[in-house]
Amino acid sequence: MVGSLDDDYPTTPVLLISAHPQGDDDDSGDTHFRVEEDAIELLAQYASSQPLPVIAITGVYRTGKSFIMNQLSGIDRGGFPVGATIEPCTSGIWMQFARNPETGGMCLLLDTEGLSSYTKSASYDAKLFALATLLSSFLIYNASGPIDDDALSSLAAATAVARAVRVNSTEPETSVQTAVGAGSGSEVSFDERRRQRRLAMYFPRFLWLARDFSLELEAGGERLTTNEYLERALAPIQGDSDRTRSRNVIRTAITGAFKERSCLTMRRPAHDEEDLQAISEALSAAGAGLAGLNLRPEFISDVEQMKAFVWSHLSPKQVNGSGVTGPMLSTLAEAYCDALNAGAAPAIGSAWDEVCENECNRALSQAIQAYDDDLDALLRKDSQAPLDSTNTPLISEASLAGLRERAFFVFQSNPLTSSSAPAAKVCSDKLEQHITKRAAEALHIAQSRNESRAEAMVDRLVSKVTSLLDSDSEDFSLDHIVENTKKVVDQLVNSVKAADPSLYTLVMMQLALRADHIWARPLRVHANRVISELEEEAEVRVAEVRADAEKDHSRAYATITGLNEDIASSDAQLETLRNERDKLQDKLAVAESRISSLEADVQKLSSDNPDVARKDEQIAQLQQDLAEARNALTQARREKLEIEEAAQSSQRKKRFFCC
């Protein structure tokens, strides 16, 4: 494998913690530690999703620590620098991403600056050892040779760390520099042992890697395992000398702080010193690759055994039972560096509280972002839905409850949000407040939109009623119109009621407000239809009456014409009758005159009486003529009377028709 771990992770080592002397003398121990921004960004970018296993290596400088880390990384080139001189190659703490070949998971390698450098103080060593210990889940102590008093003295930093590091800020504080200055000659008290046992819960698995080891692991004629060898070396020795007590304090510090501890040995890479120098020079140029180097097979076997042991015993970094991700690790590093820079002892509890606060705030931001994105998408989708749709509305108490549940799922996906840290409760409350506020705004928007939807639905109902009324149905009865209108209203109400009770309420309010309008339409249509029918009937009747009147008029006109003719005829007849009357009057007068004349003649004849016989004839004749004259007179009078009556009748008819 050359150049990169894979397509997802960078493989070039990056400075994690830099060390900056604050005075002219590096040995003063006054050093400022800083977590580099590049490392923080990389941890956040590539290691934020899962707890991160962290392998740190520490030990005396120039003992091949970087070589071990390069072997673990598997990078042929571009790994941690390896030198062939007495000058330290690493300053501060560097990090590199690697892949666990057994699990395929990502892990982090921390290569620390070597201890016991002639350029650095014991306090500086203790601080570096504290940072490596507190940040790792697997700590490799790289030492050369057997585990003896000299090797243990190089781990005096462990004593200072065990004394200075606190589980929480309520414990008595001892700075690392003070702990180093106190030395390791005093006995460890019972309370201190108990405190170290609590501290061990937070310390990593410890591997003592004995390099260039050439001793036979035997004691009393029995073969020892490397772990048994370590435990024998860490067992307190008898004696009251200051040296013995000092070494026992270191042994107690190691066994008290590192409950999970192991030991592996590695033989020399080569027998010849010239070969060793050549190998060192080749490794400084080639990186992790061992091919082509004149290495002892036993050494290569030891390297493979070491790698297999580390990978098989590697676990994620944890604090208080919670896995530590990349961003959490950088927060811990900053908190520990701040404490060391302030001259205080690192307090795991305080640093963890800061991690919890940062993680809870990060989880809060993610949950708020998730909720806002989901809610905004829902609002957009709801705004695009047709207003007159009777489908279940997107914005409702139920849908908002689902969004809230998802937001809290996002929030609680970070295990630290379920911890007892005060920040977890604060951030949970903030999330609840944000959700409550946004939900209220969404419901207000939904309420306004539902009101518009209710209006649109009722508008559609009115249109549908209008459409039904405007259809060519033959049944125009009021009962039919009311039945169809009620059917349409019930259909809308039932569909809305099944979809959304809140929208149902608004629709019912709209129906109540517009009931007059809704029902006035069908009633008005019915009235118009009745009026139309009546108008049609009236037009037919008028036409019939007009036709009858025209007929009557024609008949009347004909009658009047006939009457006028009759009147004219009557007038002519009257005139004729008048003329005849006048003639009869004259004739009557003549007849009367003759009668008078005849009567006179009769009387005269009667008086003269010369010839009675002839007189009698004449008298008889005269009497006959007189009788005829009288008859003619009577007839003339009768005719006159008839003519007068006929004239009066004609006159009455004329007056009647004239009226």
Per-residue confidence (pLDDT) for residue 396, from 0 to 100: 80
DSSP state of 255: H
The confidence band for 346, taking pLDDT boundaries of 50, 70 and 90, is confident
CB 163 within 8 A of CB 179: yes
The confidence band for 539, taking pLDDT boundaries of 50, 70 and 90, is confident
Per-residue pLDDT, averaged over 336-363, amounts to 83
Per-residue confidence (pLDDT) for residue 137, from 0 to 100: 95
Per-residue pLDDT, averaged over 389-414, amounts to 81
Q: What is the dihedral of CA 458, 462, 463, 467, to 10 degrees?
A: 150
Task: Give alpha helix (H) positions in 385-396.
Answer: none
- 3-class DSSP assignment, residue 262: strand
Per-residue confidence (pLDDT) for residue 2, from 0 to 100: 32
Greatest CA span in the chain, whole angstroms?
Answer: 236
Per-residue confidence (pLDDT) for residue 187, from 0 to 100: 58
Q: Which residues contact 197 (CB under 8 A, 6 or more apart)?
A: 256
| Closest to 64 in 3D by CA, of 361, 299, 353 | 299
Domain range summary for the chain, segments of one domain joined by +: 14-166+191-313, 360-513, 555-658
Which residue would you say has higher pLDDT here, 164 or 401? 401
465, two tokens: 């009623």
The amino acid at 545 = V
Measure the CA angle with vertex 242, ends 254 and 245; round to 5°. 30
Per-residue confidence (pLDDT) for residue 84, from 0 to 100: 43
Per-residue confidence (pLDDT) for residue 171, from 0 to 100: 61
Confidence check: pLDDT of 39 > 90: yes
Per-residue pLDDT, averaged over 635-647, amounts to 77
CA distances from 176 to 34, 165, 184 (A): 17, 8, 13
Which residue would you say has higher pLDDT here, 481 or 542? 542
The confidence band for 613, taking pLDDT boundaries of 50, 70 and 90, is low
pTM here is: 0.64
d(CA 493, CA 499): 10
Per-residue confidence (pLDDT) for residue 411, from 0 to 100: 87
Average pLDDT over the chain reads: 77
The confidence band for 134, taking pLDDT boundaries of 50, 70 and 90, is very high
Mean pLDDT comparison of 167-176, 538-547, 563-572, highest-scoring range: 538-547
CB 504 within 8 A of CB 497: yes
Please count the other Cβ atoms lying within 10 Å of the Cβ belonging to residue 118. 9
- 3-class DSSP assignment, residue 16: strand
Q: Which CATH number fits domain 14-166+191-313: 3.20.20.70, 3.40.50.300, 3.10.180.10, 3.30.930.10?
A: 3.40.50.300
Give the DSSP letter string of 504-518.
HHHHHHHHHHTHHHH
Confidence check: pLDDT of 86 > 60: no
Summarised one tens digit per residue, pLDDT across range 263-289 is: 999 998 876 666 666 666 555 555 545
Per-residue confidence (pLDDT) for residue 37, from 0 to 100: 95
The confidence band for 347, taking pLDDT boundaries of 50, 70 and 90, is confident
Per-residue pLDDT, averaged over 166-178, amounts to 60
Confidence check: pLDDT of 436 > 70: yes
Percent of the chain having pLDDT more than 70?
Answer: 68
Per-residue confidence (pLDDT) for residue 308, from 0 to 100: 95
| Ranges 287-301, 304-318, 369-383: which has the least confidence | 287-301
Which residue would you say has higher pLDDT here, 644 or 101? 101
Please count the other Cβ atoms lying within 10 Å of the Cβ belonging to residue 304. 12
Confidence check: pLDDT of 509 > 50: yes
Sheet holding 205-211: strands in order across? 31-35, 14-21, 93-99, 106-112, 54-59, 138-144, 205-211, 261-265
The confidence band for 87, taking pLDDT boundaries of 50, 70 and 90, is very low
Per-residue confidence (pLDDT) for residue 85, from 0 to 100: 42
